[in-house]
């Protein structure tokens, strides 16, 4: 099934103040209920949507007529989300968010290594998904939103944050370590920004969750630990001596710029 939609019965879509132009989001999932509910939620926020419940059909459509961003379920028959991303990455750098099950940590890591921009575990909050979509689109277009509700990534004025070897550009979602780019997911960026914003200050897991997730989204402590672990691996791939993110057992994490 492939379907393109752009408005909901009863009136035109509401354009979100977070976007200056109307973006198109492709949804690929074999669960029709998810396709329908997420599509409606996105349209209500001013997005156009295309929906597919077949990875093979989606691959051709995404290649021939790329949207602005795609959301893939990992577990699909015939062609799963991992294979779809692998084949898409042969010709396209289209931003992609994975939908995963909580126990799919290995798939999450493999997907991020393959070029996925972020992942969200099922069951998921539509508010969280929309927030991640907006953040990734801002990064892709290097545009700074003017509305406070949609600017969770932006520091005041969007100024660059520099802490020792670390440099973060919140407006463009760019990170470098000693001049070398580091590719972080939206969630990782927000957690690192919360830590680096106040070097030496211990941030509890709850504080880091508050920085990375909307107020009504529940995640457990292990989610933050997993993001920290992945960030460390990314920085150590560039600098084997990386130790700027410190663990304070029983308390949380801190950032050292020394």
Q: Residue 226 sits in a domain of what CATH number?
A: 1.10.10.10
- Which pLDDT score, from 0 to 100, does residue 175 have? 93
50 and 127 share one domain? yes
Q: Does residue 157 or residue 208 have the better pLDDT? A: 208
Report yes or no on 9 lying in a domain: yes
Report yes or no on 146 lying in a domain: no
171 and 73 share one domain? no
127 and 161 share one domain? no
Dihedral angle sign, alpha carbons of residues 133, 134, 137, 142: negative
Q: Rg of the chain's alpha carbons, rounded to an integer? A: 18
- The number of folded domains in the chain is 2
104 and 231 share one domain? no
Residue where one domain finishes, among candidates 114, 141, 168:
141
Q: Taking residues 75-81, report their average pLDDT.
A: 87
- Which pLDDT score, from 0 to 100, does residue 148 have? 41
Q: What is the pTM of this model?
A: 0.64
115 and 158 share one domain? no
178 and 108 share one domain? no
Report yes or no on 147 lying in a domain: no
- Which pLDDT score, from 0 to 100, does residue 209 have? 84
Q: Tokens standing for 32?
A: 């029709």
Report yes or no on 80 lying in a domain: yes
Q: Would you tell me how many other CB atoms lie within 10 Å of the CB of residue 126?
A: 15
Q: Taking residues 135-157, report their average pLDDT.
A: 52
Provide long-range contacts, Cβ within 8 A and 24+ apart, for 219-223.
223/121
CATH number of the domain residue 10 falls in: 3.40.50.2300
162 and 118 share one domain? no
Residue where one domain finishes, among candidates 141, 161, 176:
141
172 and 132 share one domain? no
d(CA 66, CA 24): 9
Band (pLDDT 50/70/90 cuts) for residue 101 is: confident
Q: For residue 177, what are the domain limits?
A: 152-255
Residue where one domain finishes, among candidates 113, 141, 169:
141
What's the first-to-final CA gap in the chain, in angstroms? 54
14 and 120 share one domain? yes
Band (pLDDT 50/70/90 cuts) for residue 39 is: very high
């Amino acid at each position: 099934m492939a379907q393109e939609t752009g408005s909901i019965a009863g009136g035109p879509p509401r354009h979100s103040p977070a976007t200056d132009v109307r973006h198109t989001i492709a949804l690929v999932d074999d669960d029709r209920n998810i396709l329908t509910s997420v599509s409606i939620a996105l349209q209500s926020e001013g997005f156009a949507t295309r929906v597919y419940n077949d990875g093979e059909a989606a691959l051709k459509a995404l290649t021939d007529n790329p949207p602005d961003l795609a959301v893939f379920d990992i577990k699909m028959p015939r062609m799963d989300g991992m294979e779809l991303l692998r084949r898409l990455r042969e010709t396209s750098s289209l931003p992609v968010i994975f939908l995963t099950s909580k126990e799919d940590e290995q798939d999450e890591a493999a997907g991020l290594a393959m070029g996925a921009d972020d992942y969200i575990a099922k069951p998921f909050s539509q508010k969280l998904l929309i927030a991640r979509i907006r953040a990734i689109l801002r990064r892709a277009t290097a545009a700074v939103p003017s509305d406070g509700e949609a600017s969770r990534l932006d520091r005041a004025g969007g100024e660059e944050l520099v802490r020792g070897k670390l440099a973060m550009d919140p407006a463009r979602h760019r990170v470098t370590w000693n001049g070398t780019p580091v590719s972080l997911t939206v969630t990782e960026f927000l957690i690192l920004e919360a830590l680096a914003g106040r070097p030496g200050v211990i941030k509890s897991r709850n504080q880091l969750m508050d920085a990375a997730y909307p107020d009504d989204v529940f995640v457990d402590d292990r989610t933050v630990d997993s993001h920290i672990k992945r960030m460390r691996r990314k920085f150590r791939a560039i600098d084997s001596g990386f130790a700027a993110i410190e663990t304070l057992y029983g308390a949380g994490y801190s950032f050292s710029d020394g």
